[in-house]
Chain A
Amino acid sequence: MRILYLLFLGGGFSLMVANGFFGREFFGQRRRADLPPSVRQTPGAYRTFLHNNGFHGGK
């Protein structure tokens, strides 16, 4: 029971510290994506790229 309690405490406080002090979020409809290097290397190209490639958030 003690180990179980320590696991719970560790988990709960880890989530809180990660969110409060490092800005991490663990819930919600979101994801991170890397744009292709060619797009990244061309200023402003991401606008057209995102639009033309149907980058739809969260799906």
Chain B
Amino acid sequence: MSILASCPSCGAVLSFRPGTMVAVCTYCKALAARKDRDPELIGRVADLVETGSSLGLGASGTFAGRSFTLAGRVQLKHPLGGIWDEWYLALDDGRWGWLAEAQGRFYLTFTQDPHGALPAADSLQAGGLADLGPAGLWTVGEISEAAFHSAEGEIPWAVEPGATYRFADLSGRNGAFATLDYSEEPPLFFLGREIPLADLHIQGGTRKPAKVGVQNLNCPKCGGALALRAPDQTQRVGCPSCGSLLSTENGKLAFLKSLKQPHREVVIPLGTEGVLNGEKVICIGQLRRSCTVDGIAYPWTEYLLLDAQHGFKWLVESEGHWSLAVALPPGEVPQARDGQKNLSALGANWRRFQDVEAVVEGVWGEFYWTVELGERVQVAEFIAPPRSLTRERQGHKGGGEEVNWSLSTYLDPEAVWTAFKLKDAPPAPRGIASFQPNPHKVTLSKSALWVVGALGLLLALVMVESATHRNEELFKQRLDLYELAPGLRKEAAEAVRKGIPVRRPNAPGSPVAPAAETQEPVYFSGPIEIKNGRRNLAVTLSAPVNNSWIGLEGALVSETTGVAELFLLESSFYHGVDGGESWAEGGQASTVFLSAVPAGTYVLRLAPQWDGRFPPVGVIEVQLRQGVMRWLYPGLALLAILVVPLILVIQVAAFEGRRWQESMYGTAATASGGDD
């Protein structure tokens, strides 16, 4: 139930609901404080600034099943020049809600009784954490001072004309929002969340229709035409004609100063409309910023885009690389300490790339804050290509600071040209952008399916081969070399008599020796039946050679076709001690593989070879097998499967190496640091 009273200045009717501390007279702008008897005049308020708010006094809505009325509004001025609205919701259960509106976003909070002591303002730092005890840890988005500008309706707290209020905005996960108001002792605690306006179902009220379209003005310095596309929110205008910096006050432009700016090199003209990622945007501002690293300046251009549905966005161009940046609530990103190299946020792991100081060098178009030439912010960039998280820390004049996080997504230059229907082709990007997606990684990912499929096929083939290759023995024979060449036996006996040491083998069973009349030892096997014409053959020579070698010239001859498969085998084994270290090379067995031969009857011709007069060993063993599993070929297939992915991995690594060469947190920087 409201109490009606008279305005202490003009006598008009003033209404005081339960909880209303101050009321503003609609007629004379008097600010009247509620007292036990009559209201007390505490001052007058300035005219309200047109902020383009879609809300109006007296509007009604619902929240959490309770209906409310927009009973009052206070306009507060930010140290950087902006003005924001704070609406007061009088709920039907007697409670009050605070609805802050800034840059198209709404934050609904309610007063809370803190459970324990709240942190002092001096102990907070923008970007740091605020420990609110049972209310948890919060990220400090901003700690600053707001100045009272104007008001209307009923206000549930004791405002004073010209007063300033210290506050800290806190941000939590999933849109949680809180404010610590240090205008009282102990500080007030407001808790709530960012809320879509549609969730409040607001209807009616005395709102003015938002300005739509373009407000055409002229530069007060050069008279050049200026078209403001967001006149309600614009704080500064950089005249593209004369380079003057202008302020906007109550819909009028005022000259502030002439700027010494670099030549404007932009590709998206002011006022250009486009459709980016399916959303209609218009370019309203161009900002030239740069950072200096090791004495080298790295400039880039930022285009301020106005999206009627989602607020402001930034299109950033650097060395021909493009990205789209949107603001993030600080609470969505965990605190990043100085030098912290990794960050886990937004479901991804981010790696710190660089810390730089960004300086504004050029201003053209309109901006929603009081931008100045030379404005400096401390930038920390974390990357997870194709995205980057950027933290900008900015100090306020007269104390206070704020931290803003933005999420950038790398864009194909062609997408920008298409979105804004720009002429010609985009210039080729130079170098590698910090969060440019690794093109080789995409190719590598695409090849993964091929690799998996090929490995599966390889495994299946190996299994089939293992099952079908039985390693069937077709022939096995121990050969006495002295029996093969009978003349050797006699010569060896002579040599023994003369004192020449000769290794004499035991006399084995005498094999076939058709070449007995010659000195060359040759052995011919009996008929060997080969039934499978699709399996390879393996001939193995085993000989107990010791620091010596023995060779075997062989032929597998078809008795039906006369085709001969000729081969050469050598068993060679040497070892010793050199410089105190033992060594060995070769082996006492060796194998040669022959291609499959047509099924039929074959004969093996074997002719041992050695150095010197006498053989180094008396007996050798020869074995012929069919269907021998060869791991060489699956190995070659595996190499073929992996060679291109390996090349891609090398390319991926090379690309990442080039990327991180530009980083102060890269491997190169770490290595050089380690050298010190």
| Cβ-defined contact, A50 with B564, below 8 A | yes
| Cβ-defined contact, A8 with B557, below 8 A | no
Residue among B537, B565, B567, B644 making CB contact with A8, cutoff 8 Å:
B644
The verdict on B53 contacting chain A, using a C-beta distance below 8 Å, is no
Interface of B is mostly: mixed
B-side contacts of A5, CB under 8 Å: 447, 450, 644
Q: Which residue of B lies closest to A31 (CB)?
A: B566
| Cβ-defined contact, A29 with B568, below 8 A | yes
| Cβ-defined contact, B568 with A59, below 8 A | yes
- The proximity string for B residues 550-592 relative to A, scoring 1 for CB distances below 8 Å and 0 otherwise, is 0001110101011111111000000000000000000000001
28 A-B pairs with C-beta separation under 8 A? A5-B644, A8-B640, A12-B640, A13-B457, A16-B458, A19-B630, A23-B534, A23-B535, A25-B594, A27-B632, A28-B594, A29-B567, A30-B593, A32-B565, A33-B564, A33-B566, A34-B564, A35-B562, A35-B564, A43-B559, A46-B559, A51-B515, A51-B520, A51-B522, A55-B605, A57-B555, A57-B607, A59-B553
- The proximity string for A residues 25-59 relative to B, scoring 1 for CB distances below 8 Å and 0 otherwise, is 10111111111010110010011001100011111
Residue among A21, A46, A55, A57 making CB contact with B562, cutoff 8 Å:
A46
Q: Which residue of A lies closest to B450 (CB)?
A: A5
| Cβ-defined contact, A30 with B536, below 8 A | no
| Cβ-defined contact, B593 with A12, below 8 A | no
Residue among B514, B607, B644 making CB contact with A4, cutoff 8 Å:
B644
| Cβ-defined contact, A23 with B536, below 8 A | yes
The verdict on B196 contacting chain A, using a C-beta distance below 8 Å, is no
Q: How far is the CA of A8 from the CA of B605 in the complex (A)?
A: 39
Q: Which 9 A-B pairs have the closest CB atoms?
A: A23-B596, A12-B640, A58-B568, A40-B562, A12-B637, A57-B566, A35-B562, A5-B644, A30-B567
The verdict on B465 contacting chain A, using a C-beta distance below 8 Å, is yes
Q: How far is the CA of A37 from the CA of B561 in the complex (A)?
A: 9
A-side contacts of B514, CB under 8 Å: 47, 51
Given contacts A5-B450, A5-B644, contact A56 B607 (CB under 8 A): yes
Q: How far is the CA of A40 from the CA of B468 in the complex (A)?
A: 33
B-side contacts of A29, CB under 8 Å: 567-568, 592
Q: How far is the CA of A4 from the CA of B537 in the complex (A)?
A: 33
- In the complex, what's the smallest C-beta–C-beta distance from A9 to chain B, in angstroms? 6
The verdict on B464 contacting chain A, using a C-beta distance below 8 Å, is yes
A-side contacts of B537, CB under 8 Å: 23
Q: How far is the CA of A51 from the CA of B557 in the complex (A)?
A: 13
A-side contacts of B566, CB under 8 Å: 30-33, 55-58
| Cβ-defined contact, A58 with B564, below 8 A | no
- In the complex, what's the smallest C-beta–C-beta distance from B673 to chain A, in angstroms? 36
The verdict on B251 contacting chain A, using a C-beta distance below 8 Å, is no
Q: How far is the CA of A33 from the CA of B594 in the complex (A)?
A: 13
Kindly list 20 other residue pairs between chains A and B, CB separation below 8 angstroms, not including A20-B630, A28-B594: A5-B450, A13-B454, A23-B533, A24-B536, A25-B593, A25-B595, A28-B567, A28-B592, A30-B565, A30-B566, A30-B567, A32-B563, A34-B564, A35-B562, A40-B562, A51-B518, A56-B568, A57-B555, A57-B566, A58-B567
